[in-house]
Structure 1
Amino acid sequence: MASQLIRLSGLAFAVLMGCIYMLSAGAPREFWIINGAALACAIGLSVFLKRLDRGFGAVAFTGFALALFAATLFSDAEIDGIHRWIAVGPVRLHVGLLLLPATISLLPDLRRELALLTVIAISLIVSLQPDRASAFALLSGVLVLAMAKRDKWSLGMLAIGGFSFLWTLRKIDPLQPVRFVEYVIRDAWESDPLSAAVMAVSLILALVVPLFGLNFRNQIPLIASLATIGGFVIISLFGPYPTPLIGYGATAIVGYGLALGLSAVRETGVRLA
Protein backbone atom coordinates (compact mmCIF):
# COMPACT_ATOMS: atom_id res chain seq x y z
CA MET A 1 0.00 0.00 0.00
CA ALA A 2 2.83 2.40 0.81
CA SER A 3 4.40 2.02 -2.63
CA GLN A 4 1.05 2.61 -4.30
CA LEU A 5 0.52 5.79 -2.27
CA ILE A 6 3.95 7.01 -3.39
CA ARG A 7 2.96 6.35 -7.00
CA LEU A 8 -0.16 8.45 -6.39
CA SER A 9 1.83 11.44 -5.14
CA GLY A 10 2.15 12.82 -8.67
CA LEU A 11 -1.61 12.69 -9.14
CA ALA A 12 -2.22 14.31 -5.75
CA PHE A 13 0.23 17.12 -6.51
CA ALA A 14 -1.35 17.83 -9.91
CA VAL A 15 -4.89 17.90 -8.53
CA LEU A 16 -3.79 20.09 -5.62
CA MET A 17 -2.08 22.59 -7.92
CA GLY A 18 -5.19 22.70 -10.11
CA CYS A 19 -7.41 23.32 -7.09
CA ILE A 20 -5.15 26.10 -5.82
CA TYR A 21 -5.20 27.75 -9.24
CA MET A 22 -8.99 27.52 -9.52
CA LEU A 23 -9.38 28.92 -6.01
CA SER A 24 -7.05 31.85 -6.71
CA ALA A 25 -8.54 32.54 -10.15
CA GLY A 26 -12.11 32.78 -8.92
CA ALA A 27 -13.54 29.47 -10.11
CA PRO A 28 -16.86 28.37 -8.57
CA ARG A 29 -16.26 26.71 -5.23
CA GLU A 30 -17.82 23.43 -6.33
CA PHE A 31 -15.11 23.04 -8.99
CA TRP A 32 -12.26 22.47 -6.58
CA ILE A 33 -14.48 20.66 -4.09
CA ILE A 34 -15.52 18.13 -6.74
CA ASN A 35 -11.92 17.68 -7.89
CA GLY A 36 -10.83 17.11 -4.29
CA ALA A 37 -13.54 14.50 -3.79
CA ALA A 38 -12.52 12.83 -7.05
CA LEU A 39 -8.92 12.66 -5.80
CA ALA A 40 -10.06 10.84 -2.66
CA CYS A 41 -12.04 8.41 -4.84
CA ALA A 42 -9.03 7.87 -7.13
CA ILE A 43 -6.75 7.11 -4.19
CA GLY A 44 -9.26 4.62 -2.83
CA LEU A 45 -9.61 2.88 -6.20
CA SER A 46 -5.88 2.70 -6.75
CA VAL A 47 -5.01 1.38 -3.31
CA PHE A 48 -7.82 -1.07 -2.71
CA LEU A 49 -8.80 -2.22 -6.19
CA LYS A 50 -7.95 -5.87 -6.63
CA ARG A 51 -6.25 -7.22 -9.71
CA LEU A 52 -8.74 -8.57 -12.21
CA ASP A 53 -8.56 -12.18 -13.31
CA ARG A 54 -6.75 -12.43 -16.63
CA GLY A 55 -9.61 -14.35 -18.14
CA PHE A 56 -13.11 -13.45 -17.06
CA GLY A 57 -12.24 -10.31 -15.09
CA ALA A 58 -10.41 -8.58 -17.92
CA VAL A 59 -13.04 -9.59 -20.47
CA ALA A 60 -15.90 -8.47 -18.21
CA PHE A 61 -14.37 -5.05 -17.56
CA THR A 62 -13.59 -4.57 -21.24
CA GLY A 63 -17.16 -5.50 -22.17
CA PHE A 64 -18.49 -3.05 -19.58
CA ALA A 65 -16.25 -0.29 -20.93
CA LEU A 66 -17.31 -0.95 -24.52
CA ALA A 67 -20.98 -0.86 -23.49
CA LEU A 68 -20.51 2.58 -21.91
CA PHE A 69 -18.58 3.84 -24.93
CA ALA A 70 -21.42 2.67 -27.18
CA ALA A 71 -24.01 4.22 -24.84
CA THR A 72 -22.59 7.68 -25.53
CA LEU A 73 -23.88 7.47 -29.10
CA PHE A 74 -27.46 7.15 -27.81
CA SER A 75 -27.22 9.29 -24.67
CA ASP A 76 -29.15 12.53 -24.23
CA ALA A 77 -25.96 14.06 -22.77
CA GLU A 78 -24.86 15.56 -26.09
CA ILE A 79 -23.75 19.07 -26.97
CA ASP A 80 -24.06 20.48 -30.49
CA GLY A 81 -24.32 16.99 -31.92
CA ILE A 82 -21.22 15.74 -30.06
CA HIS A 83 -21.67 12.51 -28.10
CA ARG A 84 -18.85 11.98 -25.61
CA TRP A 85 -20.71 11.69 -22.34
CA ILE A 86 -23.25 9.63 -20.49
CA ALA A 87 -25.58 11.13 -17.91
CA VAL A 88 -25.66 9.75 -14.36
CA GLY A 89 -28.35 11.81 -12.70
CA PRO A 90 -27.28 15.46 -12.91
CA VAL A 91 -23.67 14.48 -13.70
CA ARG A 92 -22.20 14.01 -17.17
CA LEU A 93 -19.30 11.56 -17.38
CA HIS A 94 -16.72 11.72 -20.17
CA VAL A 95 -16.36 8.01 -20.88
CA GLY A 96 -13.01 8.31 -22.65
CA LEU A 97 -11.31 10.07 -19.75
CA LEU A 98 -12.91 7.69 -17.26
CA LEU A 99 -12.38 4.29 -18.87
CA LEU A 100 -9.95 4.45 -21.78
CA PRO A 101 -6.67 4.37 -19.74
CA ALA A 102 -7.88 1.37 -17.72
CA THR A 103 -9.14 -0.42 -20.82
CA ILE A 104 -5.81 0.04 -22.58
CA SER A 105 -4.03 -1.41 -19.54
CA LEU A 106 -6.12 -4.59 -19.83
CA LEU A 107 -5.46 -5.26 -23.53
CA PRO A 108 -2.35 -7.41 -22.82
CA ASP A 109 -4.57 -9.67 -20.67
CA LEU A 110 -7.00 -10.37 -23.50
CA ARG A 111 -6.69 -12.84 -26.31
CA ARG A 112 -5.00 -11.19 -29.27
CA GLU A 113 -8.12 -11.34 -31.44
CA LEU A 114 -10.28 -9.85 -28.69
CA ALA A 115 -7.72 -7.10 -28.02
CA LEU A 116 -7.75 -6.15 -31.69
CA LEU A 117 -11.57 -6.19 -31.83
CA THR A 118 -11.67 -3.98 -28.72
CA VAL A 119 -9.43 -1.39 -30.36
CA ILE A 120 -11.51 -1.52 -33.55
CA ALA A 121 -14.73 -1.00 -31.58
CA ILE A 122 -13.36 1.92 -29.56
CA SER A 123 -11.84 3.50 -32.66
CA LEU A 124 -15.17 3.32 -34.46
CA ILE A 125 -17.08 4.80 -31.52
CA VAL A 126 -14.71 7.72 -30.88
CA SER A 127 -14.79 8.46 -34.62
CA LEU A 128 -18.58 8.59 -34.55
CA GLN A 129 -18.84 10.67 -31.37
CA PRO A 130 -16.54 12.30 -32.63
CA ASP A 131 -13.81 12.69 -29.99
CA ARG A 132 -10.38 13.66 -31.29
CA ALA A 133 -8.93 13.65 -27.78
CA SER A 134 -9.95 10.05 -27.07
CA ALA A 135 -8.76 9.00 -30.53
CA PHE A 136 -5.32 10.50 -29.89
CA ALA A 137 -5.19 9.00 -26.37
CA LEU A 138 -6.06 5.58 -27.82
CA LEU A 139 -3.29 5.96 -30.39
CA SER A 140 -0.81 6.91 -27.65
CA GLY A 141 -1.68 3.85 -25.58
CA VAL A 142 -1.56 1.28 -28.38
CA LEU A 143 1.73 2.81 -29.58
CA VAL A 144 3.33 1.61 -26.33
CA LEU A 145 1.88 -1.87 -26.82
CA ALA A 146 3.10 -1.98 -30.43
CA MET A 147 6.60 -0.89 -29.42
CA ALA A 148 6.68 -3.56 -26.70
CA LYS A 149 5.34 -6.52 -28.66
CA ARG A 150 5.94 -5.62 -32.31
CA ASP A 151 3.77 -8.40 -33.74
CA LYS A 152 1.04 -8.21 -36.36
CA TRP A 153 -1.69 -7.93 -33.74
CA SER A 154 -0.23 -4.96 -31.88
CA LEU A 155 0.80 -3.29 -35.14
CA GLY A 156 -2.75 -3.82 -36.38
CA MET A 157 -4.07 -2.05 -33.28
CA LEU A 158 -1.66 0.80 -33.94
CA ALA A 159 -2.83 1.11 -37.54
CA ILE A 160 -6.49 1.14 -36.52
CA GLY A 161 -5.83 3.74 -33.81
CA GLY A 162 -3.91 5.90 -36.25
CA PHE A 163 -6.67 5.76 -38.84
CA SER A 164 -9.27 6.70 -36.22
CA PHE A 165 -7.27 9.74 -35.16
CA LEU A 166 -6.75 10.86 -38.77
CA TRP A 167 -10.47 10.47 -39.37
CA THR A 168 -11.32 12.77 -36.46
CA LEU A 169 -8.96 15.39 -37.89
CA ARG A 170 -11.31 15.68 -40.87
CA LYS A 171 -14.18 16.88 -38.68
CA ILE A 172 -14.55 20.34 -37.20
CA ASP A 173 -15.13 20.36 -33.46
CA PRO A 174 -17.92 22.89 -32.77
CA LEU A 175 -17.57 22.94 -28.98
CA GLN A 176 -16.42 26.16 -27.37
CA PRO A 177 -13.86 25.96 -24.55
CA VAL A 178 -15.09 26.36 -20.98
CA ARG A 179 -12.84 28.22 -18.57
CA PHE A 180 -11.14 26.00 -15.96
CA VAL A 181 -11.99 22.93 -18.08
CA GLU A 182 -10.18 23.47 -21.39
CA TYR A 183 -7.02 25.48 -22.15
CA VAL A 184 -6.20 25.62 -18.44
CA ILE A 185 -2.44 26.10 -18.84
CA ARG A 186 -2.86 28.66 -21.64
CA ASP A 187 -5.34 30.72 -19.64
CA ALA A 188 -3.17 30.53 -16.52
CA TRP A 189 -0.12 31.65 -18.50
CA GLU A 190 -1.86 34.85 -19.54
CA SER A 191 -2.49 35.89 -15.93
CA ASP A 192 0.02 33.96 -13.83
CA PRO A 193 2.93 32.33 -15.71
CA LEU A 194 4.34 30.83 -12.51
CA SER A 195 1.10 28.96 -11.79
CA ALA A 196 0.99 27.76 -15.39
CA ALA A 197 4.57 26.45 -15.16
CA VAL A 198 3.91 24.70 -11.84
CA MET A 199 0.78 23.03 -13.22
CA ALA A 200 2.64 21.92 -16.34
CA VAL A 201 5.37 20.35 -14.18
CA SER A 202 2.73 18.69 -12.00
CA LEU A 203 1.20 17.02 -15.07
CA ILE A 204 4.60 15.67 -16.09
CA LEU A 205 5.18 14.32 -12.58
CA ALA A 206 1.76 12.64 -12.57
CA LEU A 207 2.82 10.74 -15.68
CA VAL A 208 6.34 9.74 -14.59
CA VAL A 209 6.24 9.31 -10.80
CA PRO A 210 4.35 5.97 -10.99
CA LEU A 211 7.24 4.57 -13.08
CA PHE A 212 10.02 5.19 -10.56
CA GLY A 213 11.77 2.01 -9.44
CA LEU A 214 9.80 -0.32 -11.71
CA ASN A 215 10.90 -3.06 -14.06
CA PHE A 216 9.60 -1.51 -17.26
CA ARG A 217 9.30 -4.80 -19.13
CA ASN A 218 6.97 -6.14 -16.45
CA GLN A 219 4.90 -2.95 -16.30
CA ILE A 220 3.79 -2.49 -19.90
CA PRO A 221 0.09 -2.22 -18.87
CA LEU A 222 0.96 0.64 -16.51
CA ILE A 223 3.13 2.40 -19.10
CA ALA A 224 0.40 2.04 -21.73
CA SER A 225 -2.26 3.47 -19.43
CA LEU A 226 -0.03 6.43 -18.49
CA ALA A 227 0.70 7.01 -22.18
CA THR A 228 -3.05 7.09 -22.78
CA ILE A 229 -3.47 9.75 -20.09
CA GLY A 230 -0.50 11.56 -21.60
CA GLY A 231 -2.32 11.56 -24.93
CA PHE A 232 -5.23 13.38 -23.32
CA VAL A 233 -2.79 15.89 -21.81
CA ILE A 234 -1.00 16.56 -25.11
CA ILE A 235 -4.15 17.00 -27.19
CA SER A 236 -5.59 19.39 -24.59
CA LEU A 237 -2.74 21.80 -25.40
CA PHE A 238 -3.84 22.10 -29.03
CA GLY A 239 -7.62 22.14 -28.95
CA PRO A 240 -10.75 22.66 -26.85
CA TYR A 241 -10.42 19.40 -24.95
CA PRO A 242 -10.51 18.92 -21.16
CA THR A 243 -7.18 19.38 -19.42
CA PRO A 244 -6.84 16.26 -17.25
CA LEU A 245 -6.16 16.39 -13.50
CA ILE A 246 -5.55 20.14 -13.15
CA GLY A 247 -8.75 21.27 -14.88
CA TYR A 248 -12.24 20.96 -13.52
CA GLY A 249 -13.62 17.49 -14.05
CA ALA A 250 -13.82 14.40 -11.89
CA THR A 251 -13.70 11.78 -14.64
CA ALA A 252 -10.02 12.21 -15.56
CA ILE A 253 -8.98 12.03 -11.90
CA VAL A 254 -11.07 8.94 -11.14
CA GLY A 255 -9.96 7.39 -14.43
CA TYR A 256 -6.31 7.84 -13.41
CA GLY A 257 -6.91 6.02 -10.11
CA LEU A 258 -8.83 3.25 -11.84
CA ALA A 259 -6.07 2.74 -14.40
CA LEU A 260 -3.33 2.76 -11.79
CA GLY A 261 -5.20 0.25 -9.65
CA LEU A 262 -5.75 -2.14 -12.55
CA SER A 263 -2.28 -1.88 -14.08
CA ALA A 264 0.37 -1.12 -11.47
CA VAL A 265 -0.21 -4.37 -9.61
CA ARG A 266 0.88 -6.48 -12.54
CA GLU A 267 4.25 -8.18 -12.40
CA THR A 268 4.01 -10.17 -15.62
CA GLY A 269 6.02 -9.96 -18.79
CA VAL A 270 4.84 -8.48 -22.06
CA ARG A 271 2.28 -10.47 -23.93
CA LEU A 272 -0.82 -10.02 -26.04
CA ALA A 273 -2.35 -13.44 -25.84
Structure 2
Amino acid sequence: MLGIVYMVIAGAPLRYLGINIGALGIGLSMLGMVGHVATAGCRRADAAIVTMAGALLATALLGAEVNGAARWVNLAGLAVQPSLILLPVLLVAFARTRSASATTGIVIAAAAMALQPDRAMAGMLALCVAILTVTRRDRHTVIAFAAGVVGFAATLMRADTLPAAPYVDQILYSSFDVHTGAGLAVWGGAALMLVPGIVGFSRDPDNRTVYAAFGVAWFAAIVAAALGNYPTPVVGYGGSAIIGYVVSLFALPKLTGGSVPMGGRTEDLADRSPSDLDLFVALA
Protein backbone atom coordinates (compact mmCIF):
# COMPACT_ATOMS: atom_id res chain seq x y z
CA MET A 1 0.00 0.00 0.00
CA LEU A 2 2.88 2.39 0.68
CA GLY A 3 4.21 1.61 -2.77
CA ILE A 4 0.85 2.53 -4.25
CA VAL A 5 0.93 5.79 -2.28
CA TYR A 6 4.29 6.55 -3.87
CA MET A 7 3.05 5.78 -7.37
CA VAL A 8 -0.08 7.90 -6.93
CA ILE A 9 2.01 10.87 -5.79
CA ALA A 10 4.50 10.29 -8.61
CA GLY A 11 1.73 10.17 -11.20
CA ALA A 12 2.21 6.57 -12.32
CA PRO A 13 -0.34 5.19 -14.82
CA LEU A 14 -3.41 3.62 -13.21
CA ARG A 15 -2.52 0.39 -14.99
CA TYR A 16 0.60 0.13 -12.83
CA LEU A 17 -1.45 0.39 -9.65
CA GLY A 18 -3.85 -2.26 -10.91
CA ILE A 19 -1.04 -4.66 -11.75
CA ASN A 20 0.49 -4.32 -8.28
CA ILE A 21 -2.89 -4.90 -6.61
CA GLY A 22 -3.56 -7.84 -8.91
CA ALA A 23 -0.17 -9.32 -8.07
CA LEU A 24 -1.05 -9.17 -4.38
CA GLY A 25 -4.26 -11.05 -5.13
CA ILE A 26 -2.34 -13.70 -7.08
CA GLY A 27 0.11 -14.08 -4.22
CA LEU A 28 -2.70 -14.56 -1.71
CA SER A 29 -4.36 -17.11 -3.97
CA MET A 30 -1.18 -19.21 -3.86
CA LEU A 31 -1.25 -19.52 -0.07
CA GLY A 32 -2.94 -22.91 -0.03
CA MET A 33 -0.28 -24.45 -2.26
CA VAL A 34 2.56 -22.89 -0.28
CA GLY A 35 1.05 -24.03 3.01
CA HIS A 36 0.99 -27.63 1.83
CA VAL A 37 4.57 -27.48 0.55
CA ALA A 38 5.82 -25.80 3.73
CA THR A 39 4.33 -28.54 5.93
CA ALA A 40 5.13 -31.41 3.56
CA GLY A 41 7.79 -34.01 4.10
CA CYS A 42 11.39 -33.48 3.09
CA ARG A 43 10.97 -35.39 -0.16
CA ARG A 44 8.20 -33.13 -1.42
CA ALA A 45 10.06 -30.01 -0.29
CA ASP A 46 13.18 -31.20 -2.11
CA ALA A 47 11.16 -31.76 -5.26
CA ALA A 48 9.70 -28.24 -4.99
CA ILE A 49 13.18 -26.71 -4.62
CA VAL A 50 14.54 -28.57 -7.65
CA THR A 51 11.45 -27.68 -9.69
CA MET A 52 11.76 -23.98 -8.89
CA ALA A 53 15.47 -24.05 -9.70
CA GLY A 54 14.69 -25.74 -13.00
CA ALA A 55 12.21 -22.97 -13.83
CA LEU A 56 14.91 -20.37 -13.17
CA LEU A 57 17.33 -22.21 -15.44
CA ALA A 58 14.67 -22.45 -18.16
CA THR A 59 14.21 -18.68 -17.91
CA ALA A 60 17.94 -18.15 -18.43
CA LEU A 61 17.92 -20.40 -21.51
CA LEU A 62 14.53 -19.58 -23.06
CA GLY A 63 13.34 -16.34 -21.46
CA ALA A 64 12.83 -12.96 -23.08
CA GLU A 65 16.14 -11.17 -23.59
CA VAL A 66 16.76 -7.45 -23.14
CA ASN A 67 20.23 -5.95 -23.64
CA GLY A 68 21.85 -9.35 -23.26
CA ALA A 69 19.95 -10.29 -20.08
CA ALA A 70 17.36 -13.08 -20.10
CA ARG A 71 15.47 -12.62 -16.84
CA TRP A 72 11.87 -12.39 -17.95
CA VAL A 73 8.99 -14.45 -19.27
CA ASN A 74 6.26 -12.71 -21.27
CA LEU A 75 2.77 -13.67 -20.12
CA ALA A 76 -0.22 -12.05 -21.78
CA GLY A 77 1.81 -8.97 -22.60
CA LEU A 78 3.32 -8.66 -19.12
CA ALA A 79 6.99 -9.22 -18.37
CA VAL A 80 7.29 -11.49 -15.35
CA GLN A 81 10.62 -12.00 -13.56
CA PRO A 82 10.56 -15.57 -12.19
CA SER A 83 13.66 -15.08 -10.03
CA LEU A 84 11.85 -12.49 -7.87
CA ILE A 85 8.97 -14.92 -7.41
CA LEU A 86 10.84 -18.18 -6.91
CA LEU A 87 14.31 -17.48 -5.54
CA PRO A 88 13.29 -16.03 -2.13
CA VAL A 89 10.91 -18.91 -1.34
CA LEU A 90 13.51 -21.37 -2.66
CA LEU A 91 16.06 -19.98 -0.20
CA VAL A 92 13.61 -20.07 2.70
CA ALA A 93 12.73 -23.67 1.82
CA PHE A 94 16.43 -24.58 1.69
CA ALA A 95 16.88 -23.12 5.18
CA ARG A 96 14.19 -25.54 6.38
CA THR A 97 15.22 -28.57 4.33
CA ARG A 98 18.86 -29.41 3.75
CA SER A 99 19.57 -32.48 1.69
CA ALA A 100 21.47 -33.53 -1.41
CA SER A 101 18.44 -32.79 -3.60
CA ALA A 102 17.85 -29.37 -2.05
CA THR A 103 21.53 -28.52 -2.44
CA THR A 104 21.36 -29.57 -6.08
CA GLY A 105 18.50 -27.12 -6.49
CA ILE A 106 20.63 -24.30 -5.04
CA VAL A 107 23.50 -25.15 -7.40
CA ILE A 108 21.10 -25.07 -10.37
CA ALA A 109 19.65 -21.75 -9.21
CA ALA A 110 23.13 -20.25 -8.85
CA ALA A 111 23.97 -21.37 -12.39
CA ALA A 112 20.71 -19.86 -13.65
CA MET A 113 21.47 -16.48 -12.06
CA ALA A 114 24.93 -16.53 -13.63
CA LEU A 115 23.52 -17.37 -17.06
CA GLN A 116 20.74 -14.78 -17.06
CA PRO A 117 22.85 -12.87 -15.77
CA ASP A 118 21.21 -11.27 -12.75
CA ARG A 119 23.69 -9.70 -10.37
CA ALA A 120 21.05 -8.69 -7.83
CA MET A 121 19.50 -12.15 -7.51
CA ALA A 122 22.90 -13.85 -7.60
CA GLY A 123 23.95 -11.60 -4.74
CA MET A 124 20.76 -12.49 -2.87
CA LEU A 125 21.53 -16.20 -3.21
CA ALA A 126 25.20 -15.85 -2.25
CA LEU A 127 24.49 -13.68 0.79
CA CYS A 128 21.66 -15.88 2.01
CA VAL A 129 23.59 -19.16 1.82
CA ALA A 130 26.58 -17.39 3.41
CA ILE A 131 24.43 -16.55 6.44
CA LEU A 132 23.15 -20.13 6.56
CA THR A 133 26.72 -21.41 6.42
CA VAL A 134 27.76 -19.18 9.31
CA THR A 135 24.76 -19.97 11.51
CA ARG A 136 24.51 -23.70 10.83
CA ARG A 137 27.42 -25.06 8.87
CA ASP A 138 27.17 -28.48 7.27
CA ARG A 139 28.22 -30.14 4.04
CA HIS A 140 25.13 -28.97 2.17
CA THR A 141 25.43 -25.30 3.12
CA VAL A 142 29.15 -25.26 2.27
CA ILE A 143 28.45 -26.62 -1.22
CA ALA A 144 25.57 -24.16 -1.68
CA PHE A 145 27.79 -21.30 -0.53
CA ALA A 146 30.53 -22.24 -3.00
CA ALA A 147 27.97 -22.35 -5.83
CA GLY A 148 26.54 -19.01 -4.77
CA VAL A 149 29.93 -17.30 -4.71
CA VAL A 150 30.87 -18.68 -8.14
CA GLY A 151 27.51 -17.63 -9.59
CA PHE A 152 27.78 -14.11 -8.18
CA ALA A 153 31.37 -13.78 -9.40
CA ALA A 154 30.23 -14.78 -12.88
CA THR A 155 27.68 -11.96 -12.95
CA LEU A 156 30.40 -9.47 -11.99
CA MET A 157 32.37 -10.47 -15.07
CA ARG A 158 29.64 -9.20 -17.40
CA ALA A 159 28.54 -5.57 -17.64
CA ASP A 160 24.93 -4.83 -16.72
CA THR A 161 23.76 -2.27 -19.25
CA LEU A 162 20.05 -2.23 -18.52
CA PRO A 163 18.75 1.34 -18.09
CA ALA A 164 16.61 2.40 -15.15
CA ALA A 165 12.88 1.91 -15.70
CA PRO A 166 10.46 4.54 -14.34
CA TYR A 167 8.67 3.66 -11.08
CA VAL A 168 10.79 0.47 -10.90
CA ASP A 169 14.50 1.24 -10.55
CA GLN A 170 16.33 3.85 -8.44
CA ILE A 171 13.11 4.96 -6.75
CA LEU A 172 14.73 4.82 -3.32
CA TYR A 173 16.35 8.09 -4.36
CA SER A 174 14.16 9.55 -7.10
CA SER A 175 11.01 9.32 -4.95
CA PHE A 176 12.27 12.22 -2.81
CA ASP A 177 12.55 14.33 -5.96
CA VAL A 178 8.83 13.80 -6.47
CA HIS A 179 7.72 14.56 -2.91
CA THR A 180 9.01 13.98 0.61
CA GLY A 181 5.93 11.92 1.38
CA ALA A 182 6.62 9.70 -1.62
CA GLY A 183 10.18 9.12 -0.47
CA LEU A 184 9.08 8.30 3.07
CA ALA A 185 6.49 5.87 1.71
CA VAL A 186 9.12 4.04 -0.33
CA TRP A 187 11.68 3.83 2.47
CA GLY A 188 9.05 3.01 5.08
CA GLY A 189 7.62 0.23 2.96
CA ALA A 190 11.07 -1.20 2.28
CA ALA A 191 11.83 -1.23 6.01
CA LEU A 192 8.54 -2.96 6.82
CA MET A 193 9.47 -5.80 4.48
CA LEU A 194 12.17 -6.88 6.94
CA VAL A 195 9.95 -6.90 10.04
CA PRO A 196 8.75 -10.55 9.76
CA GLY A 197 12.32 -11.81 9.62
CA ILE A 198 13.47 -9.66 12.53
CA VAL A 199 10.51 -10.50 14.77
CA GLY A 200 10.62 -14.20 13.92
CA PHE A 201 14.37 -14.34 14.56
CA SER A 202 13.95 -12.82 18.01
CA ARG A 203 10.84 -14.72 19.10
CA ASP A 204 11.26 -18.16 17.54
CA PRO A 205 14.71 -19.51 18.50
CA ASP A 206 14.03 -22.94 16.99
CA ASN A 207 13.63 -21.48 13.49
CA ARG A 208 16.11 -18.62 13.52
CA THR A 209 17.94 -19.81 10.42
CA VAL A 210 14.68 -19.78 8.45
CA TYR A 211 13.84 -16.23 9.49
CA ALA A 212 17.42 -15.18 8.82
CA ALA A 213 17.16 -16.56 5.28
CA PHE A 214 13.94 -14.63 4.71
CA GLY A 215 15.28 -11.36 6.08
CA VAL A 216 18.64 -11.56 4.34
CA ALA A 217 17.07 -12.44 0.99
CA TRP A 218 14.84 -9.37 0.93
CA PHE A 219 17.50 -7.14 2.47
CA ALA A 220 19.77 -8.12 -0.43
CA ALA A 221 17.03 -7.21 -2.91
CA ILE A 222 16.62 -3.78 -1.32
CA VAL A 223 20.39 -3.15 -1.27
CA ALA A 224 20.64 -4.16 -4.93
CA ALA A 225 17.88 -1.69 -5.78
CA ALA A 226 19.82 1.02 -3.95
CA LEU A 227 23.09 0.26 -5.71
CA GLY A 228 22.03 -0.36 -9.30
CA ASN A 229 19.23 -0.47 -11.85
CA TYR A 230 17.38 -3.35 -10.24
CA PRO A 231 13.70 -3.53 -9.28
CA THR A 232 12.78 -2.00 -5.94
CA PRO A 233 10.80 -4.88 -4.42
CA VAL A 234 7.14 -4.47 -3.43
CA VAL A 235 7.14 -0.65 -3.11
CA GLY A 236 7.98 -0.15 -6.80
CA TYR A 237 6.02 -1.09 -9.88
CA GLY A 238 6.23 -4.78 -10.71
CA GLY A 239 4.11 -7.72 -9.67
CA SER A 240 6.86 -10.34 -9.55
CA ALA A 241 8.40 -9.11 -6.29
CA ILE A 242 4.97 -8.72 -4.69
CA ILE A 243 4.03 -12.32 -5.48
CA GLY A 244 7.46 -13.51 -4.38
CA TYR A 245 7.27 -11.62 -1.10
CA VAL A 246 3.84 -12.95 -0.16
CA VAL A 247 4.78 -16.52 -1.08
CA SER A 248 8.06 -16.38 0.87
CA LEU A 249 6.27 -14.77 3.82
CA PHE A 250 3.82 -17.64 4.09
CA ALA A 251 6.59 -20.20 3.64
CA LEU A 252 7.81 -19.17 7.09
CA PRO A 253 7.01 -21.51 9.99
CA LYS A 254 3.47 -21.40 11.27
CA LEU A 255 2.55 -21.54 14.95
CA THR A 256 1.87 -25.20 15.70
CA GLY A 257 2.38 -25.80 19.38
CA GLY A 258 3.36 -24.44 22.78
CA SER A 259 1.38 -22.21 25.09
CA VAL A 260 1.03 -18.53 25.76
CA PRO A 261 -0.44 -16.68 28.74
CA MET A 262 -3.95 -15.36 28.10
CA GLY A 263 -5.01 -12.95 30.85
CA GLY A 264 -3.77 -15.04 33.73
CA ARG A 265 -4.52 -18.39 32.12
CA THR A 266 -2.70 -20.52 29.61
CA GLU A 267 -4.08 -21.51 26.24
CA ASP A 268 -2.77 -24.64 24.60
CA LEU A 269 -1.95 -23.56 21.08
CA ALA A 270 -1.79 -27.13 19.90
CA ASP A 271 -5.57 -27.25 20.34
CA ARG A 272 -6.16 -24.39 17.91
CA SER A 273 -4.93 -25.16 14.45
CA PRO A 274 -3.44 -22.09 12.78
CA SER A 275 -5.69 -21.07 9.92
CA ASP A 276 -4.98 -19.07 6.82
CA LEU A 277 -7.59 -16.62 8.10
CA ASP A 278 -5.24 -15.74 10.96
CA LEU A 279 -2.47 -15.18 8.45
CA PHE A 280 -4.67 -13.02 6.22
CA VAL A 281 -5.41 -10.80 9.23
CA ALA A 282 -1.71 -10.65 10.09
CA LEU A 283 -0.83 -9.60 6.54
CA ALA A 284 -3.52 -6.92 6.57
Structure-2 residue corresponding to 1:271: none
Residue of 8, 11, 14 corresponding to 1:29:
14
Alignment of 1:100-249 (within 5 A): 100-209=87-196, 211-212=198-199, 214-249=203-238
Cα deviation 1:49-104 (Å, max 9, x = unaligned):
42421333212211321221121123351112211112223222111100001101
> Using a 3 Å threshold, how does the CA distance of structure 1 residues 245 and 141 change in structure 2: closer, same or farther?
same
Mark the CA change 1:138 to 1:247 in structure 2 (over 3 Å): closer, same or farther: same
User: What is the rounded CA distance, in whole Å, between the counterparts of 2:10 and 2:177 in structure 1?
Assistant: 12
Over 3 Å counting, the alpha-carbon distance change for 1:263 and 1:231 in structure 2 is same
Say if 1:260 and 1:145 are closer, same or farther in 2 by CA, change over 3 A.
same
1:161 partner SS: helix
Give the root-mean-square deviation of aligned CA atoms: 2.2
Give the match for residue 42 of structure 1.
27
2:2 is equivalent to residue 17 of structure 1: yes
Aligned-residue offset at 1:267: 6.8
The 2-side partners of 1:24 and 1:222 are apart by 33
Q: TM-score, normalised by structure 2?
A: 0.81
SS in 1 for 2:65: coil
Q: Displaced runs of 4+ in structure 1, greater than 3 A?
A: 43-49, 108-111
Contact 2:50 2:104 in 1 (8 A): no
Whether 1:54 aligns to 2:41 is yes
TM-score (norm 1): 0.84
Task: Tell me if the contact between 1:87 and 1:93 (Cα under 8 Å) persists in the aligned partners.
Answer: yes
Q: 1:250 to 1:260 in 2, by over 3 A?
A: same
Q: Which amino acid aligns with 1:245?
A: V
More moved, 108-117 vs 160-169: 108-117
**Unmatched tracts of structure 1, length 5 or more:** 1-15, 269-273
* Larger Rg, first or second structure (1 or 2): 2
Deviations 1:132-168 (A, max 9, x none): 0110111222123112212343133223212221221
Q: 2:87, 2:255 → 1: CA distance?
A: 18
**More divergent stretch after superposition (147-156 vs 175-184):** 147-156
State which drifts further: 34-43 or 165-174: 34-43
Q: CA 1:148–1:98 in 2, change beyond 3 Å: closer, same or farther? A: same
The answer to whether structure 1 residue 254 and structure 2 residue 239 are counterparts is: no
**1:232–1:36 CA distance, 2 compared to 1 (3 A):** same
Letter matched to residue 167 of structure 1: A
Retained in 2: the 8 A contact 1:48–1:261?
no
Percent of aligned pairs with the same residue?
A: 26
Q: More strand by proportion, 1 or 2?
A: 2
> Do 2:60 and 2:113's aligned partners in 1 also have CA atoms closer than 8 Å?
no
User: How many residues matched?
Assistant: 253
Identify the residue that residue 74 of structure 2 maps to in structure 1: 87
Distance 1:110 1:266, change over 3 A: farther
Task: Indicate how the Cα distance of structure 1 residues 201 and 99 shifts in structure 2: closer, same or farther if over 3 A, else same.
Answer: same
Cα offset, 1:216, TM superposition: 3.5
Distance change (3 Å), C-alpha of 1:91 and 1:56: farther
Q: Distance in 2 between matches of 1:106 and 1:212?
A: 19
User: Which 5+ residue runs of structure 2 have no aligned equivalent?
Assistant: 258-284
Asked if the contact 2:193–2:218 (Cα under 8 Å) also holds between the matched residues in 1, the reply is no
Distance in 2 (alpha carbons) for counterparts of 1:130 and 1:247:
22
- 1:210 Cα deviation after fit: 5.0
